[in-house]
Amino acid sequence: MTTVAAPSAGTALDRVDGPEKVTGRARYAYENVPADLAYAVVVQATVSRGEVRAVDADSVLQLPGMIATIWHENAPRLAPVEDAELTVLQSPRVAYRGQVVAVVVAETLESATEAARLLRVDYRPEPHDVELRPDHPGMYRPDHVNPNYATDSELGDPDTALAFASVVVDATYTTPAQHHNPIEPHATVALWDADGLTLYDATQSTSGVRATIAPLFALPPESVRVISPYVGGGFGGKGAPHAQVVLAALAAKQVGRPVKLAATRRQMFAVTGYRTPTVQRVRLGADEDGKLSAIVHEAFEQTATIKEFAEQTTVVTRMMYAAPHRRTSHRLVRLDVPVPTWMRAPGETPGMFALESAMDELAVACGIDPVELRVRNEPTIDPERGLPFSSRNLVACLRGGAERFGWAGRDPEPGVRRRGRQLIGTGVASSTYPVYRMPSQASARAEPGGGFTVRIAAADIGTGARTVLTQIAADALRVPPAQVRMEVGDSALPRASVAGGSSGTASWGTAVLRACEGLMDALHRRAGDVPPGGLEASADTAEELRSQRPLSRHAYGAQFAEVGVDLDTGEVRVLRLLGAFAAGRIINPKTARSQLIGGMTMGLSMALLEESVMDLEFGDYLNRDLAQYHVAACADVRDVDAFWIEEEDPDLNPMGSKGIGEIGIVGTAAAIANAVYHATGIRVRDLPIRLDRLIGGGI
């Protein structure tokens, strides 16, 4: 106990679960094999709206290996809860094409798949409405937007300010529906026994799944255990439970055996959430020097008829730039579509595509360098909340990034730089992401044989949480990380918040740190003596979080892109992508860099490739597999790099960290679109930047 180790935080510790993952030993949800397992396969609605009239359950039950067909008439009753995405198979209503209308359970996956295909479902279809358009008569003002922001905001008199502004940008931008496509499809193994329900689930929050699922089955939370040590990526899609979790539990209950259920890649396009498409109108008013007098940002989005999810698309505009007159708003329309959800930086990602594209248009209109334009509009306090910033180093990111990127001396003229048959251009965009911290609990235990075990129901979905928490614990316990065993990913561990909102390190780190401090105190009182049964301390951060003083807390960044656009075919290649970030203290530079570069790469993918295309006739997403929904491959990414500036911010949390999981994607698509404009002179306001949009745009 007297060991004094050099601090681990700030060092590039190798991922502690790396060896399990590179050897194939790490067990993901679907790879759990309880005895007597049965396979479940879902049957999806083939109409976009209407009612299930009948399900010919009996005829498929004749097939070999069949155990059960479950549909709304014979499904176990669930307790009524507000979230209609989860009250599966309780009513004949079909709210969108692809919604689950039945589950078949069989001895083998092959039998279940066959039965699911053959199952005859009779519908009474109704006309559907799946098209998002800003003038839709069903547009309404939601009570609030995700997670709990005001729907609209207004300061001053933006209309008059726009009318009198010397320079006005008024443009409409669109972003398409996008699907998370983590490499691991959503999967659940459900098992009922005398103690209740056990779920091996692919989730970003074991505590959250427990809290959500237990009431559906009228169980106390302690009767549900959710185990999820390894998760193959989430990006928000696994942030809250979707239908497949409930279906697995319900099917296991019905057949009295453990049941395995995975959404296939194709099913995921309907049942596991997506980012809403948006239509956004941005109006900027400025003087000739580019100083903003007015910012108006209005978003139009879709949600499902059975559940409201209101993406906070314009919230970011409330704090980004200074302007005396401002307005933001969100309007939603309920369509016969699948339920949208969080996807990596919900709100900031589509919102900043629009705002940062508009800022680039303003820079062009004013003849001001886009980096300089942003610097000129830097606010001294949060413009709408009126609060000081805990720290705000956007300008340092812009300046530092510009220097490393070689921005100086950039000729603003679009469409004039050629390399062979390629037009070359560069672009910049700012990025930001709020600093969230949520209450969590943790325990730390000194083991009698030496070493420590630290427990928290956190989720490591690939972020490196297990590693970073090990480092935080090791430093608090003043031992090398190798002496700390970190246990995460199980709802039986002390309750933790969701791996979302880039809040993991701040939320869980605080709890882990406090538990370790408590343990150190206890050890100190015992003069370092560990009793035979070990010594444990625990912590709950709810109180600590309540006493946090009100400040505007955000991470900042700036992305720089260089693109080459084929003059003849419109093919866009991102030649260079550089991100500069100010995100508080970086606890592990190795895992952090990967998170930032990974986010930027997803932004590149969003800029050029990702688009879920709604089939207006049939009412579902057309391109629902990885052959048709393209995500960036290795060959699309040439030179992506990220760096950060040192930032000390004592007003965040004991680690001094800001989140880094999402900020990488924010701003990237705008930086690329701005570079495409610089290369070609064509302003693409609709993502993705498709080849035919450039050629049609008249390169």
Within positions 160 to 199, which residues make up the interface with other proteins, using CB under 8 A? 181-185
The answer to whether residues 280 and 173 touch, using CB atoms and an 8 Å cutoff, is: yes
> What is the C-alpha separation between 359 and 667, in angstroms, rounded?
12
Distance of closest approach, residue 21 Cβ to other proteins, in angstroms: 3
> What is the C-alpha separation between 270 and 275, in angstroms, rounded?
12
Query: Three-class SS of residue 209?
Result: helix
Residue 662 known to be catalytic: yes
- Of 116 and 444, the one with the shorter C-beta distance to other proteins is 116
When binding is defined by CB under 8 A, the residue of 50, 370, 504, 599 that contacts other proteins is 599
When binding is defined by CB under 8 A, the residue of 633, 648, 650, 698 that contacts other proteins is 633
- Of 173 and 235, the one with the shorter C-beta distance to other proteins is 235
C-alpha distances (whole Å) from 163 to each of 168, 171, 285, 365, 605 are 9, 15, 8, 16, 38
What six digits make up the tokens of 697? 């745009």
> What is the C-alpha separation between 672 and 169, in angstroms, rounded?
19
Q: Which of 184, 298, 311, 662 is catalytic?
A: 662
When binding is defined by CB under 8 A, the residue of 340, 598, 619, 656 that contacts other proteins is 598
Q: What residues pair up with 432 in beta bridges, in sequence order?
A: 556
Distance of closest approach, residue 101 Cβ to other proteins, in angstroms: 17
- Neighbouring residues of 546: CB distance < 8 A, sequence distance ≥ 6: none
> What is the C-alpha separation between 545 and 604, in angstroms, rounded?
36
- Residues of span 329-368 touching other proteins by CB under 8 A: none
What six digits make up the tokens of 613? 């295309």
- Residues of span 423-462 touching other proteins by CB under 8 A: 461-462
376 binds other proteins (CB under 8 A): no
30 binds other proteins (CB under 8 A): yes
When binding is defined by CB under 8 A, the residue of 109, 155, 395, 645 that contacts other proteins is 109
For tokens 């048709």, what's the residue? 628
What six digits make up the tokens of 626? 């990885």
Distance of closest approach, residue 638 Cβ to other proteins, in angstroms: 8
When binding is defined by CB under 8 A, the residue of 11, 12, 160, 526 that contacts other proteins is 12
The answer to whether residues 641 and 580 touch, using CB atoms and an 8 Å cutoff, is: no
For tokens 């190795």, what's the residue? 590
570 binds other proteins (CB under 8 A): yes
Give the interface segment with other proteins, choosing from 84-92, 93-101, 545-553, 565-573 (CB under 8 A). Answer: 565-573
544 binds other proteins (CB under 8 A): no
When binding is defined by CB under 8 A, the residue of 3, 4, 6, 23 that contacts other proteins is 23
Q: Is 541 exposed, middle or buried (0-12, 13-18, 19+ CB in 10 A)?
A: buried
> What is the C-alpha separation between 358 and 370, in angstroms, rounded?
11
When binding is defined by CB under 8 A, the residue of 178, 303, 317, 594 that contacts other proteins is 594
- Residues of span 233-272 touching other proteins by CB under 8 A: 233, 235, 264-266
Task: List the x/- string, 42-81, binding to other proteins by CB under 8 A.
Answer: ----------------------------------------
When binding is defined by CB under 8 A, the residue of 104, 226, 473, 631 that contacts other proteins is 631
- Give the torsion through C-alpha atoms of 263, 267, 272, 273, to 10 deg: 170
641 binds other proteins (CB under 8 A): yes
290 binds other proteins (CB under 8 A): no
> What is the C-alpha separation between 518 and 78, in angstroms, rounded?
42
Distance of closest approach, residue 399 Cβ to other proteins, in angstroms: 24
Distance of closest approach, residue 226 Cβ to other proteins, in angstroms: 18
478 binds other proteins (CB under 8 A): no
- Neighbouring residues of 606: CB distance < 8 A, sequence distance ≥ 6: 175, 178, 349, 665, 668, 669, 687, 688
C-alpha distances (whole Å) from 198 to each of 12, 241, 477 are 36, 14, 33
The answer to whether residues 180 and 274 touch, using CB atoms and an 8 Å cutoff, is: yes
The torsion region of residue 684 among left (phi > 0), alpha (psi -120 to 50) and beta comes to beta
Residue closest to 670 by CA, chosen among 552, 557, 553, 503: 557
User: How many of the chain's residues bind other proteins (CB under 8 A)?
Assistant: 81
Give the interface segment with other proteins, choosing from 21-29, 132-140, 283-291, 309-317 (CB under 8 A). Answer: 21-29
617 binds other proteins (CB under 8 A): no
The answer to whether residues 146 and 140 touch, using CB atoms and an 8 Å cutoff, is: no
581 binds other proteins (CB under 8 A): no
- Of 368 and 666, the one with the shorter C-beta distance to other proteins is 666
The answer to whether residues 313 and 342 touch, using CB atoms and an 8 Å cutoff, is: no
- What DSSP character marks residue 178? B
When binding is defined by CB under 8 A, the residue of 390, 441, 443, 463 that contacts other proteins is 463
143 binds other proteins (CB under 8 A): no
- Of 307 and 630, the one with the shorter C-beta distance to other proteins is 630
When binding is defined by CB under 8 A, the residue of 22, 81, 416, 482 that contacts other proteins is 22
- Of 93 and 590, the one with the shorter C-beta distance to other proteins is 590
Distance of closest approach, residue 681 Cβ to other proteins, in angstroms: 18
- Of 290 and 599, the one with the shorter C-beta distance to other proteins is 599
309 binds other proteins (CB under 8 A): no
11 binds other proteins (CB under 8 A): no
Give, for 279, the enclosing helix (H) or strand (E). strand 278-286
Active site residue ranges:
662
